[in-house]
C-alpha cells in the first residue's frame, strides 16, 4: 500500500498534460493490450517515476521528453542502487510508453526507440529431481484446511506446470474434474487447457470437501484457492508455501517458477514431445 500511495501522490503532483497521458496509457494497457492489473500498476508506476523526473528537469508535458531525459532517469535510478533487472523493466516500460505516445499523437517522435536496456543477469531456476518433487508435494500433512490447501497448491503447480499467477486466478469452475484438466487464463488473456493426474485430483477432492468450506466467507466468490481470511489466495502466499515446505523437507530452495521448470523437465525425461510441453506450459528456454 505504501508504494501505491506514493505513486498516486506523485501522479497527482504531475502537470495536467502528464497526468492525462499516464491515465490514457493505463487505459491502453488494460483494454487494448489485455495486460493484467499487476502489470498495469507496474508500468504506470514506472512512467509516473519517469515523468516526475522529467518535470524536475524542466519538462511540462510528455512532448518534452527526449532520449537524454530517459537516460538521465535510468542513471539516477542506478545511482540509488536499482538492480539490473529493475532497470531493464523500467526501460521497457519507458519504451512501451513512448511507442504508444508516438502512435497516439502524444509525442512527435518515439524518443524511447533507441533507449537500451541494461542486460539482466538471469539465474536458471532450481530444478528438482523427480524424487525431490514427490517429497515436496507430499510434505503438507494433516486434514486441517491450510495443509489441505497447501497440498493442492503444490500438487497443481507440479502437475500442471502453470504459473503461480495462473494458479491463484483459478476459479472452481475452471477445474474440469471429469476430464482432469484446468482452464487457465494466461498472459495476454489467452486461455488454454492443461491436464493433471490422479494425485492432483485427490488433492482437489480433499480441499473442496474438507478444506475450502472451512475458510470460505462471503468474500471468497468463485476462487478455487483461499487465503486464511477467506479471500482469493495471493501469489506471494503461494510462493511462501513452496519455499517453506521445501526448506522444512531439507530440499534446495525452489520457487513456483522452479517447480514449473521441474514439471516440464520431468515430462521431457519421461518421453513427452518438446512442442507439446511448450504449448501446455508456455515455457521457452
Using a 10 angstrom Cβ sphere, with 0-12 exposed, 13-18 middle and 19 or more buried, the burial of residue 150 is buried
pLDDT at residue 3, rounded to an integer: 53
Pull the grid cell for residue 83. 538492480
Q: For 157-208, write each residue's pLDDT tens digit.
A: 998 888 999 999 999 999 999 999 999 876 666 788 889 989 999 999 999 9
* C-alpha–C-alpha distance, residues 38 and 44, integer Å: 10
Using a 10 angstrom Cβ sphere, with 0-12 exposed, 13-18 middle and 19 or more buried, the burial of residue 122 is exposed
pLDDT at residue 211, rounded to an integer: 96
* C-alpha–C-alpha distance, residues 55 and 63, integer Å: 12
Q: For 33-49, write each residue's pLDDT tens digit.
A: 777 888 889 999 999 99
Q: For 114-141, write each residue's pLDDT tens digit.
A: 888 766 555 556 788 889 989 999 999 9
pLDDT at residue 258, rounded to an integer: 86
Phi, psi at 43, each rounded to 5°: -65, -45
Residue 5: pLDDT band with limits 50, 70, 90: low
Report whether pLDDT(274) > 50. Answer: no
Phi, psi at 185, each rounded to 5°: -100, 105
Q: Are 149 and 225 in contact (CB under 8 A)?
A: yes
Comparing 30 with 235, the larger pLDDT belongs to: 235
The secondary structure element, H or E, covering residue 106 is none
Q: Please name each of the domains of the chain with its CATH number.
A: 2-103 (no CATH), 130-281 (1.10.443.10)
Q: What is the overall mean pLDDT for the chain?
A: 86
Q: Are 86 and 118 in contact (CB under 8 A)?
A: no
Using a 10 angstrom Cβ sphere, with 0-12 exposed, 13-18 middle and 19 or more buried, the burial of residue 141 is exposed
Q: Are 74 and 91 in contact (CB under 8 A)?
A: yes
**Cα dihedral 92→96→97→100 (10° resolution):** 170
Q: For 243-263, write each residue's pLDDT tens digit.
A: 999 999 999 889 888 888 887
* C-alpha–C-alpha distance, residues 14 and 10, integer Å: 7
The secondary structure element, H or E, covering residue 111 is none
Amino acid at each position: 500500500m505504501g508504494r501505491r500511495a506514493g505513486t498516486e501522490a506523485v501522479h497527482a503532483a504531475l502537470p495536467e498534460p502528464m497526468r492525462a497521458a499516464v491515465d490514457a496509457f493505463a487505459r491502453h494497457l488494460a483494454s487494448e493490450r489485455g495486460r493484467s492489473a499487476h502489470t498495469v500498476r507496474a508500468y504506470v508506476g514506472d512512467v509516473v517515476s519517469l515523468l516526475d523526473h522529467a518535470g524536475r528537469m524542466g519538462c511540462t508535458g510528455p512532448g518534452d521528453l527526449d532520449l537524454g531525459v530517459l537516460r538521465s532517469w535510468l542513471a539516477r535510478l542506478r545511482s540509488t542502487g536499482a538492480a539490473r533487472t529493475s532497470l531493464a523493466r523500467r526501460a521497457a516500460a519507458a519504451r512501451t510508453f513512448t511507442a504508444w505516445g508516438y502512435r497516439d499523437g502524444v509525442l512527435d517522435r518515439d524518443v524511447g526507440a533507441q533507449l537500451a536496456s541494461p542486460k539482466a543477469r538471469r539465474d536458471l531456476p532450481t530444478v528438482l529431481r523427480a524424487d525431490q518433487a514427490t517429497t515436496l508435494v507430499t510434505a503438507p500433512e494433516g486434514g486441517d484446511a491450510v495443509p489441505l490447501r497447501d497440498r493442492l497448491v503444490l500438487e497443481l503447480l507440479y502437475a500442471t506446470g502453470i504459473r503461480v499467477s495462473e494458479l491463484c486466478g483459478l476459479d472452481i469452475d475452471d477445474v474440469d474434474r471429469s476430464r482432469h484438466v484446468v482452464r487457465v487464463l494466461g498472459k495476454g488473456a489467452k486461455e488454454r487447457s492443461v491436464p493433471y493426474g490422479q494425485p492432483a485430483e485427490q488433492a482437489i477432492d480433499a480441499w473442496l470437501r474438507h478444506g475450502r468450506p472451512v475458510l470460505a466467507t462471503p468474500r471468497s466468490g468463485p476462487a478455487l484457492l483461499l487465503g486464511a481470511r477467506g479471500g482469493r489466495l495471493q501469489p506471494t502466499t503461494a510462493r511462501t508455501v513452496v519455499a517453506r515446505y521445501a526448506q522444512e523437507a531439507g530440499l534446495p530452495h525452489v520457487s513456483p517458477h522452479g517447480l514449473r521448470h521441474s514439471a516440464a523437465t520431468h515430462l521431457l525425461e519421461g518421453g513427452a514431445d518438446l512442442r507439446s510441453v511448450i504449448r501446455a506450459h508456455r515455457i521457452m528456454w
